[in-house]
Amino acid sequence: MTARLKPLLAALALAATMGFSQAQEGIRPEVGKPLQAAQDLIKAGKYKEALAKVRDADGVGGKNANESLLVERMRIAAASGAGDLETAARSFEAINASGKVPADAKLRMVESIAGSYYRAREYAKALQWYQRYFKEGGSSGATRTLMIQTQYLSGDFAGAAKELTAEIQAAERSGATPGEDRINLLMNAAVRQKDIAGETFALERLVSYYPKKEYWVALLSRMQRKPNFSDRLALDTYRLSLATGSMTAGNDFSEMAQLALQAGSPSEAKQVVDKGFASGALGAGAQAERHKRLRDLVTKRLGEAKAMQAEDERQAAAAKDGNDLLTFGMNLVFAGDRARGMQLMQQGVAKGGLKHADDAKLHIGIAQLMAGEGAKAQVTFKTVAGADGTADMARLWLLYAKRSKV
């Protein structure tokens, strides 16, 4: 018997006991004695023996309505504990038809039958009784958790997902943190239905409340597989992977460094290479020499950029559009001159003529976050639109910004 169901059956036995004790004076000895014995056996957890005593009481002829009711109440407690589910269900229907059972006792009986079916892995029947419990007015949070688990196990993934989504959203509205197990169950239900939106909803909650590396890896992978996601955003995806600590493969460090060089950000490329070597992802194994050549290339490009910094800034300022200012400013941010870098990026946005305006907003948000301006970064990320994955990328950066201490 599960730990959750022991208290439930104990409560049910208590309900039967109370009903028996309160009406004992109106019970004939030939009915009362076996019921008293059944009551003691139920308390001792000897449910099959208790059922036999209930049958003895039921065999007495000429029972009045009160005696019959008490027999059925004792039988449902014993049958539920013994796993005789059909007997428990029939007894409940007999009790329910009498109209003499208090609502709270009725709910405990329904809850016990549902739990018994759950223990027996008869999930379809368990679900029917759990749903009946709530239809009758039940409100137990633990029972709702079991009902949702039953929905999932019975194959009702859509029903489980609906209940779990409502549960998670209610927790968020109240300011509580949804349970990690509940979010994971929702994600699994979504995966079973091939519900991409539901899976993404769950993953975003996981990285928000439980920002583990594996959750970030799964979420970033999901985002990149979206049909409309632009290859142009590969570097920004790597940036988030690195920021969340979910980048571990040498190939990822290597490719990110090369993309940073192509984007005109050798300072960023240097940081990526340094982190790769420090973590052991770069500089070891069959690709060790290739990694060293990459490091040398990054160092060379960084030196060239520093030598040409004044001229590059002058040309960027003189350009007819703001694209070069954005690129130059972003590199300064990674070089550590964050205030000047963000100033130039803002000038680039103001100048206009941008190839990708939403990319510019995204990059400004990243720069603000790197500069320790998390609140401003969150505001900026919320302004990013674009149906090519830019808005998706910004939303994930926003989730990170809300939890980040950068």
Contact 362, 396 (CB under 8 A): no
For residue 170, give the 3-state DSSP assignment: helix
Domain residue ranges of the chain, discontinuous segments joined by +: 5-152, 157-210, 248-306
Please state the length of the chain. Answer: 406
Smallest CA-to-CA distance from 309 within 268, 339, 266 is with 266
Residues 6+ apart with CB under 8 A from 43: 13, 17
Question: What string of DSSP letters covers 280-306?
Answer: TSSSSGGGHHHHHHHHHHHHHHHHHHH
406 residues of the chain, pLDDT tens digit each: 444 444 444 444 444 544 454 445 578 899 999 999 999 999 999 999 999 999 999 999 998 888 888 898 899 889 888 888 888 888 888 887 877 777 888 888 788 888 888 888 889 989 998 999 999 888 888 999 999 999 999 999 999 999 999 999 999 999 999 999 999 999 999 999 999 889 999 999 999 999 999 999 999 998 888 888 999 999 999 999 999 999 999 999 999 999 999 999 999 999 999 999 999 999 988 899 999 999 999 999 999 999 999 999 999 999 999 999 999 999 999 999 999 999 999 999 999 999 999 999 999 999 999 988 999 999 999 999 988 999 999 999 999 998 876 5
Question: Which amino acid does the sequence have at 302?
Answer: L
pLDDT in tens, 80-90: 888 888 888 88
CATH architecture of the domain with range 5-152: Alpha Horseshoe (1.25)
Question: Which amino acid does the sequence have at 168?
Answer: I
Which spans in 120-212 are helix H?
A: 123-135, 141-153, 157-173, 180-193, 196-209
Smallest CA-to-CA distance from 41 within 24, 57, 60 is with 57
Residue found by looking up tokens 């984007």 in the block: 263
> Rounded to two decimals, what is the model's pTM?
0.76
- Determine the Cα–Cα distance for residues 51 and 38; give it in Å rounded to an integer: 7
* Number of H-type helices and E-type strands within the chain: 22, 0
- Determine the Cα–Cα distance for residues 63 and 91; give it in Å rounded to an integer: 16
Smallest CA-to-CA distance from 55 within 29, 28, 37, 81 is with 37
DSSP annotation of 406: -
Question: What string of DSSP letters covers 57-125?
Answer: HHTSSS--HHHHHHHHHHHHHHHHHHT-HHHHHHHHHHHHHHT-S-HHHHHHHHHHHHHHHHHTT-HHH
